[in-house]
Structure 1
Amino acid sequence: MKFGETFTEYLHGEQERFLNKCSHLEYKRLKKVLKSCRICRALQDNSGSDQQDESNASPDFCQCDSCPLCDQIFFAELTREASDIAGCFSSRVRRLLHLHVSSGMQRYMWRLRHCFTDDQQVMIQEGRMLLDYVTMNAIAIRKILKKYDKIHGSVNGREFKTKLRAKHIELLQSPWLIELGAFYLNFNGSDGGEPGEFFRKFSCDLNDDQPAMTMSISDTLKYEYSLNCAVCLDTLFNPYALSCGHLFCKSCACSSASVLLFQGLKTASQGAKCPICRAVGVYNDAVQMTELDLLLKNRCKDYWKERLRSERAEMVKQSKEYWQSQAILTLGL
């Protein structure tokens, strides 16, 4: 079965009700944009059949490096759709994980809404649909970009992936995907037992010098996410994701942004840069990775406790020095 048919079947399958509330890639429409490229077809006609026979090229293949018509319509549409999908995915994962750690009336209303079914199983099902959602759309983007490069004989598809990273909307590099993986691994290690075969998509190795989480989409397609902080070069502790998508320990991120621990990343200046990509204005919307922190806490208990003591001691020290300096300024000493 061709991927286009597989993707259509997915959109109209058992998850159709879930997908009606989410954006998705207009795969068929983008393929039509490529087929309706008049400039490339004109160049193809002018090239002559003799040249095609000599090169053994496909009839749909064009030798131009880029196409103004496709570049204007195709990439603009693809960027918009990828951004909508990334926004939908992050908001739904954020909501799911918030419910996971909620209690009291909010948890009661959640269970009431689902007729008092097992709320853990409902959340697991929601998480499974979210993972299917992001991986299917990511594969669709990958396929349509390969189609573009095949038609135009260019490398614009690969360049576009770089642009997606620069705009922080590459789906399979989202920190929310790491949070979703940590959410599953935390369930997997709970007293509820093995939640199902789906959880085997995620694995985590924290004993190596380079701790990492791995997500297996298929036997041949795997993604590995480093759990090392690029500042202290140690396993992440109290991890935060900057809006550019890079992960750091909270203390390391605060140090990079030149703010104190007790002040938090929200107080960072707009000019503060990410230590990795040097993007500015990425600290104010930083998000605490609560599920990832819980995973590290459960699997690296001694390390986590030691880092907690160290961070608390540093926070007390910074607070004491800060208020002493404020007192000196106030009294004019």
Structure 2
Amino acid sequence: MKFAKKYTTYMMGMEAELPAVGIKRLKRMLKKCRSHEGAAASPADSAGRCPGHCSVCDGSFFPSLLNEMSAVVGCFNEKAKKLLELHLASGFKKYTMWLTTKGDKSHGKLIQQGKDLVTYAIINAVAMRKILKKYDKA
């Protein structure tokens, strides 16, 4: 199974709706860039790379990638902050936080949420590396 399919399956399996990287859409952008620039490539540009500045890469690919990764990082930071606040709270603050969450945040559940969050970060980092590798090939 290809990574894009695994990534999509993983993101669909998540309980909460979390931001994700649109790998397929970004790959299509790169393919469009290659086909557009590949037809007009000069003999000096034997690698088929975009000569100079490419409007597709500079104008739509990178801003789109930046927006998606910013959403992923923001979501990760928010969830990590909540977990840390719950885990590191002490005294009266810990008591009120446990009451407001209705006691469903046992130690085991907190650990599992932390593991899920780390997995979410890792799979999005791999997705970012893969799409940037595709960009380097283009």
Alignment of 1:73-222 (within 5 A): 73-102=60-89, 103-110=94-101, 112=102, 114=104, 119-151=106-138
Identity %: 36
SS across alignment from 2:39 = helix
Give the equivalent residue in structure 1 for 2:11. Answer: 11
> C-alpha deviations, 1:117-164, integer Å up to 9, x for none?
x6101101110111011111111011000001101xxxxxxxxxxxxx
Match for residue 38 of structure 2 among 34, 41, 44:
44
Give the unaligned 5+ runs of structure 1.
56-60, 152-333
Give the equivalent residue in structure 1 for 2:31. Answer: 35
Counterparts of 2:41 and 2:32, CA distance in 1: 18
- CA displacement at 1:113 relative to structure 2: 5.2
Counterparts of 2:71 and 2:40, CA distance in 1: 39
Alignment of 1:273-312 (within 5 A): none
- CA displacement at 1:43 relative to structure 2: 3.7
Give TM-score scaled by structure 1 length: 0.37
Query: RCO (CA 8 Å, sep 6+): is it higher in 1 or 2?
Result: 2
Tell me which amino acid in the other structure corresponds to 1:93. A
Alignment of 1:210-289 (within 5 A): none
Give the unaligned 5+ runs of structure 2.
none
Counterparts of 2:125 and 2:55, CA distance in 1: 25
Q: Kindly report the root-mean-square deviation, in angstroms, between the aligned alpha carbons of the 2 structures.
A: 2.1
Tell me which amino acid in the other structure corresponds to 1:24. A
> C-alpha deviations, 1:39-58, integer Å up to 9, x for none?
x424422459xx7xxx7xxx
Give TM-score scaled by structure 2 length: 0.83
- CA displacement at 1:95 relative to structure 2: 0.5
Q: CA 1:5–1:76 in structure 2 vs 1: closer, same or farther (change >3 Å)? A: same
Contact 2:29/2:56, CA 8 A, preserved across alignment:
no
Match for residue 63 of structure 1 among 37, 40, 49:
49
Tell me which amino acid in the other structure corresponds to 2:15. R
Counterparts of 1:144 and 1:106, CA distance in 2: 40
Counterparts of 2:79 and 2:41, CA distance in 1: 50
Choose between structure 1 and 2: higher helix proportion: 2
Counterparts of 1:133 and 1:124, CA distance in 2: 14
Choose between structure 1 and 2: higher strand proportion: 1
- Higher Cα radius of gyration: 1
Counterparts of 1:68 and 1:27, CA distance in 2: 20
SS across alignment from 2:87 = helix
- CA displacement at 1:10 relative to structure 2: 0.8
Counterparts of 2:82 and 2:124, CA distance in 1: 20
SS across alignment from 2:48 = coil
- CA displacement at 1:63 relative to structure 2: 2.9
